[in-house]
Chain A
Amino acid sequence: MSKTDRIRAVLVGNRVIVFDEQRAYKLYEEGFYGKYVGISKPKMSEDEKRRPVELSLLEALYLLEKGRIEVVDINGNPVKYDKLLDIARANYDMFDEVYEVYKDLRSKGYVVRPGLKFGTTFAVYRYGPGIDHAPFLVHVMPFEAKLDPIEIIRAGRLSHSVRKRFIIAVVHPKTRRIHYYMFKWFKA
């Protein structure tokens, strides 16, 4: 891919926006990257898709790393990967772990979206929001953290009530391998 094919994203404060509506559309359509500014539902009319798209810092870094986008600051100067990573680390707790899990899931072909409304780090789709209705929920936790047994119950309860698989992801500090744990109510 030549450099001119890269979609231009602008770093505004610590948020990343693709203003070019056509290219924003393309990015969203190809992998559900970003969120249309001002729209908050998974099913949108074609008209509603003619808007700028905001990328999360995870998405921006991932797409930058893949050479799919370029990031510039408000003066038009390029923002390098390391600089963007610094910003992400400063603005998102446990960013490295969260990013590793994000990359792992994306590299396996999943569509990885924020899971905030379910109470988790990620909502993960096989095809995409609005297409498959049963995403699974992935919550990233630090390996050094200790799991409060109450969280096991919460995890089990949550997955039961929203009928989605709830998975806790931890990144092993030495091997950097990602462990995925699933908790389900057990009918004893």
Chain B
Amino acid sequence: MRNKIAKAYLEEGRVVIKDDKWINELHYNKHYGRLDGNELVLHPVEALYLMHIGKLEVYEGEKKLSFEELTRRFSKTDSKLWMRFLVYCDLRRRGLIAVPLKGRNVSFLLYGRGANVEYNATKYLVYAVCEGVRVDFKELARIAEEARRSKKEVVLAVMDRQGEIAYYSMSTISL
């Protein structure tokens, strides 16, 4: 591509890309964001990740925002933003395509390796847990049930206190 770095704008708290060429590249080829009319709206963690790997610049009007600035802004409304970012980052870095989910939990839908995003549904429900924060069985049962209903497998992303992540699948079994 001629310009190596995509340009996005922070508008009303949303990161949007307006250039068709980049929408094509980031959305259709790399599976970022969701379309809203003629614009591509990036999830905060997607925007941060693309900035992090040097693929995106975010502007507010004329002003270019730094990674730090954007992290601070997004964290104001989402106390778990950094954790979300770390997990997203880790999954992407492994070459996997994750879709951030809304809610107070840090969770994602994840495509199987080598899946065709156009034709395949997501295969996993990734749920992040953090060292030092216990999860109750009620919550695990809820996640398991949610995954069962949507025919997905549960993957727990277990994050240590420095942000290192290990993945474990969790299945409910009947013996």
Contacts and interface: CB of A to CB of B under 8 A. Distances in A.
Given A180-B172, A186-B167, A150 B137 contact: no
Interface stretch (B27-35, B49-57, B60-68, B126-134): B126-134
Contact of A184 (B96, B129, B169): B169
A34 interface: no
A105 B136 contact: no
Interface in B112-134: 129-134
Which of A108, A141, A180 is the most central at the interface, judged by chain B CB atoms within 10 Å of its CB? A180
Nearest to B167: A186
Interface string B134-175: 111110110010000000000110110000001111111111
B94 interface: yes
Contacts of B172: 179-182
A181 B139 CA distance: 13
B168 A156 contact: yes
A149 B129 contact: yes
A180 B170 CA distance: 10
Contact of A110 (B136, B156, B175): B175
Interface residues of B, number: 31
Contacts, number: 88
A149 B158 contact: yes
Contacts of A105: 175
Size band of the A side of the interface?
Answer: 20 to 34
A181 B171 contact: yes
Contacts of B140: 147, 181
B134 A183 contact: no
A181 B175 contact: no
A145 B158 contact: no
B134 A146 contact: yes
Contact of B134 (A108, A147, A167, A172): A147
A141 B168 contact: no
A149 B166 CA distance: 11
A109 to B, nearest CB: 10
A118 interface: no
A147 B158 contact: no
Interface of A: 104-105, 108, 110, 124, 141, 143-150, 152-153, 155-156, 167, 170, 172, 179-188
Which 10 A-B pairs rank lowest in CB-CB distance, beginning with the nearest? A146-B134, A186-B167, A186-B169, A149-B129, A156-B168, A188-B167, A146-B136, A149-B158, A183-B168, A182-B171
